Amino acid sequence: MIDVAVLHDTGWPGTDWELLAQRAVFAAITHSPYAAFATDEALYEVAVKLTSDEEVHELNRAYRDKDKPTNVLSFPMVQADLLQGTSNTDDGEVLLGDIVLAEGVCAAEATDKGISIADHAAHLIIHGTFHLLGYDHMDDNEAEAMEALEIAALASLGLSDPYGDRIISGV
């Protein structure tokens, strides 16, 4: 079972952020090799924080040595190589990790793409969830694999391919 906790600061537009985050995390997980998490007896928890550019800037500087805000940060709580065995927990709960989005960066990117902030945030939450599941995009092969999964998860929500300018193999 999947549980998503959402915290959001003022400044984010009026959207049902809890529902959006729940749907985005669920879509990512069910389009991954960890789809069984959605029906396991164990409770898989993800926290999503919608906050200010300033807070994300501070986190980015503290944890990634990058002195600027970014659109999304992910903080996995389970090592990727241990994800398969997580359903055997002592208390039945698995904290997958935290996802943090920056409102100003997200809004500016959404405007540049000509999409709603909610649709862009859904993409960023899906992207962040794949990071919690051990995916990365440090090289071209990793990026293509992760983007293909993101595209499939977004399509399941009725959202378009954000990477439409690139050809993704396997999709």
Residues of the binding site:
127, 131, 137
Residues 169 and 64: their CA atoms lie apart, in Å, by 30
In the annotated binding site for Zn(2+), the residues are 127, 131, 137
Residues 25 and 11: their CA atoms lie apart, in Å, by 22
Residues 47 and 32: their CA atoms lie apart, in Å, by 19
Name the burial class of residue 148, with classes exposed (0-12), middle (13-18) and buried (19+) by CB atoms within 10 angstroms of its CB. Answer: middle
For the residues of 102-155, what is the DSSP string, one character each?
EHHHHHHHHHHHTS-HHHHHHHHHHHHHHHHTT---SSHHHHHHHHHHHHHHHH
Residue 165 is inside which H or E element, if any? none
SS3 content of the chain, % helix, strand, coil (to 5): 45, 20, 35
